[in-house]
């Protein structure tokens, strides 16, 4: 009888794990926390940030602060700060996605500028989702967010890896500051390494070819976001990969008329009817702030409600312990981070 019970338990456990995917070898045997160190001992800039955790907790004073489920320090060859967010948890009022993410306390405008840097590695993304949905299997690891107007996001830096692939993609999105009705807003996506967000599967469980120049889980990369006199300068670096740079005006729009809308948008967003145009001066004059950490893009919403952003991922009704046990979460490690004023770019 004991043997039968044991066999039943092992079978049930196996099915539970497969529902969201097993962890890769790179995720195994990593430390779960360093009781002698706090995140503020690792990242000296944390006094300039507040944090929103995956359980909805907000904290403005991060000196000697940690949370064993969402935000803590580890030593794995060097000191890192871990950000974890389940697929299902407490979200901010204007989002359907869970995050353990820093929010910059200071505000600035595109013309006054600001700079954010980060050195990180993504350790896990949810393996539960719908391959047809662009947001599935992804996490945002850095943002610029507007504090005014529509409160849109002129920058989101993503990492995404399809289940079964070794390599994932890093890309960045620009969300238009919509003229008029913000329900028509959309993101234009640019690939850094691997694909942009528009590469999706033909059906829920079929994935595109693995990107040849992608970034693996546990592979270190860095970014610099430098906004200077209204222009955003982006730099992405990773050992063994080509350094990539981009520029984008935050005060003069490329998308003022319907004829300016890129084909990428017409294709990806056609199913949800988003075809808005942008204010001619984009985000000029609006207060902005940076965000950094793990903003999980996998959520439990039915894909039929939004085939771009509703990933249909497993959430176990918000049970965090079950989500972590079954791979239904995202985990990002940072070892360096700085935030401050924008600087003249060295072009």
- What one-character DSSP code corresponds to residue 316? G
Return the higher-pLDDT residue of 8 and 90: 90
Q: Give the chain's end-to-end CA distance (angstroms, integer).
A: 73
Count of structural domains, the chain: 1
Q: Strand pairing partners for 253?
A: none
141 is a domain residue: yes
Q: What is the pLDDT of residues 189-232, one digit of tens each?
A: 999 999 999 999 999 999 999 999 999 999 999 999 999 999 99
Q: For residue 217, what are the domain limits? A: 37-340
Q: How far apart are CA 239 and CA 122, in angstroms?
A: 15
Average pLDDT over residues 273-294: 98
Determine the Cα–Cα distance for residues 237 and 210; give it in Å rounded to an integer: 21
| CB-CB contact of 143 with 287 (8 Å) | no
Whether the predicted pLDDT of 256 surpasses 90: yes
Structure confidence at residue 94 (pLDDT):
79
Residue 345 domain flag = no
> Nearest-CA neighbor of 51 among 337, 344, 300, 263?
337
d(CA 289, CA 110): 10
Q: What is the pTM of this model?
A: 0.92
pLDDT at 21: 56
Nearest to 46 by CA among 90, 3, 102, 98: 102
Range 94-122 average pLDDT: 97
Residue 164 belongs to domain with CATH number: 2.60.120.200
Query: Quick check: helix, strand or coil at residue 183?
Result: helix
Residue 224 in domain:
yes
Q: Is residue 6 part of a domain?
A: no
242: its two tokens:
């080509």
Average pLDDT of the chain? 92
Instruction: Identify the pLDDT of residue 93.
Output: 80
In the predicted structure, residue 347 carries a pLDDT above the cut 90: no
Helix locations, the chain, DSSP H: 2-18, 39-42, 263-268, 320-325
- Structural domain contains residue 229: yes
Q: What percent of the chain is predicted at pLDDT more than 70? A: 90
Each residue's pLDDT tens digit, 48-67: 999 999 999 999 999 999 99
Show the tokens assigned to 161: 């890896």
DSSP 46: G
pLDDT band at 34 (very low <50, low <70, confident <90, very high): low
Tokens 């970034």 appear where? 215
Q: Is residue 166 situated within a structural domain?
A: yes
pLDDT-derived band of residue 32, with 50, 70 and 90 as boundaries?
low
Q: Is residue 157 part of a domain?
A: yes
Query: Looking at residue 324, what is its pLDDT?
Result: 97
In the numeric block, the tokens 């329900």 are attached to: 183
Nearest to 283 by CA among 107, 49, 93, 52: 107
């Amino acid at each position: 009888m004991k043997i039968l019970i044991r066999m039943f338990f092992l079978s049930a456990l196996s099915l539970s794990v497969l529902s969201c995917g097993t962890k890769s070898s790179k995720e195994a045997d990593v430390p779960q926390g360093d009781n002698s160190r706090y995140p503020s001992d690792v990242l000296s800039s944390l006094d300039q940030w507040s944090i929103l955790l995956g359980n909805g907790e907000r904290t403005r004073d991060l000196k000697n602060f940690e949370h064993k489920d969402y935000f803590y320090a580890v030593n794995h060859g060097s000191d890192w700060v871990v950000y974890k967010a389940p697929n299902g948890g407490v979200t901010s009022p204007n989002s359907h996605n869970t995050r353990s993410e820093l929010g910059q306390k200071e505000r600035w405008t595109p013309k006054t500028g600001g700079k954010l840097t980060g050195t990180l590695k993504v350790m896990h993304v949810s393996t539960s989702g719908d391959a047809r949905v662009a947001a599935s299997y992804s996490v945002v690891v850095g943002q610029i967010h507007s504090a005014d107007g529509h409160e849109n996001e002129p920058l989101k830096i993503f990492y995404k890896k399809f289940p079964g692939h070794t390599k994932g993609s890093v890309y960045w999105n620009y969300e238009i500051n919509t003229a008029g009705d913000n329900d028509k807003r959309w993101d234009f996506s640019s690939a850094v390494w691997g694909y942009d967000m528009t590469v999706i599967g033909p059906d829920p469980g079929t994935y595109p070819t693995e990107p040849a120049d992608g970034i693996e889980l546990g592979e270190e990369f860095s970014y610099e976001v430098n906004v200077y006199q209204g222009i955003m300068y982006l730099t992405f670096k990773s050992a063994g990969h080509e350094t990539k740079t981009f520029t984008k005006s935050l005060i003069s729009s490329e998308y003022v008329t319907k004829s300016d809308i890129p084909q990428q948008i017409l294709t990806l967003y056609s199913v949800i009817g988003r075809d808005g145009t942008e204010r001619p001066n984009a985000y000029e004059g609006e207060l902005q702030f940076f965000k950094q950490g793990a903003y999980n893009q996998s959520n439990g919403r039915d894909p039929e409600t939004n085939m771009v952003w509703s990933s249909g991922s497993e959430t176990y009704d918000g049970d965090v312990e079950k989500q972590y046990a079954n791979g239904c979460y995202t985990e990002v490690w940072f070892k360096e981070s700085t935030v401050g004023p924008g600087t003249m770019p060295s072009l």
